[in-house]
Chain A
Amino acid sequence: MMLSPGDWQAVVLTLELAAIVTLILFVLGTPIAWWLARTHSKWKAPIGAVVALPLVLPPSVLGFYLLLTMGPNGWVGQFTNAIGIGLLPFTFWGLVVASVFYSLPFMVQPLQTAFESLGERTLEAAATLRASPLDRFFSVAAPIALPGFMTAGILSFAHTVGEFGVVLMIGGNIPGETRVASVQIFDHVEALQYGEAHDLAAVLLVFSFLVLLLLYTWRPKALRL
């Protein structure tokens, strides 16, 4: 099986996108998950619902809103234009922003579950030993929740690799910039090049299986959120 240079470019681009999105999600998702796990605020349910939205929303809804808000007439577009970074649709960083929204629940929910199972007593014990809140998080909570971090990272990464609808709507299919593997397969199929489509599809199939196999072998209950 031989992938063409264009296919390799799409695969590498996809992995770059997924890696960057996962890193950003660790930074953004951890405080959100921590807050959701510990708060008794009346905002817990609404914020939790907003975070979970991408699980049920069709990607076209997200893509449509992003295209309008990040476009020249949208407020995000006007903001990014004003600070000199131009417009986000049809750029790699536009895909990063979209994917962060799209994969957010896959980061937050496993982390939230992990933080909730910590229990108050462990943290209270640390507090009585005069550990600062930040210290309590990094020395006590984070190590215990490490498996949760692994699950969240793997799921966010894999979900971003599997993205298609949002990318189709805001990507513009530019080689090396926004043409990710899933879009490349779609193009092969539409151009009736089934051989190429098969090769690239097989790569994604094997990759996805291996990721899930790794996850299930290591944590059999990982996906029962």
Chain B
Amino acid sequence: MDPQIIFFIFTAFILAVFVGFELITKVPPTLHTPLMSGANAISGIVIVGALSQIPDASPSTANILGFAALILATVNVVGGFMVTDRMLKMFKKK
């Protein structure tokens, strides 16, 4: 990979960390558990990487690893967002 590109990506990484710090400090303790499970679901973004590793249906090692990664990442995404929603549904004001 081109060092220029990697530097560009690294810049985005650092900026995103700062955005994350800014956003998360504002989350009240009441919502810390849903925040964690929601963040968890977002880290399932690696699903995009898993998909890109399955360019064909051949049973190559790379594809099998990609397939395993895809299952795990999907569990993370689907399970993470759904359980977060289930929790947030319970936070009601009476």
Pairing of A with B: no
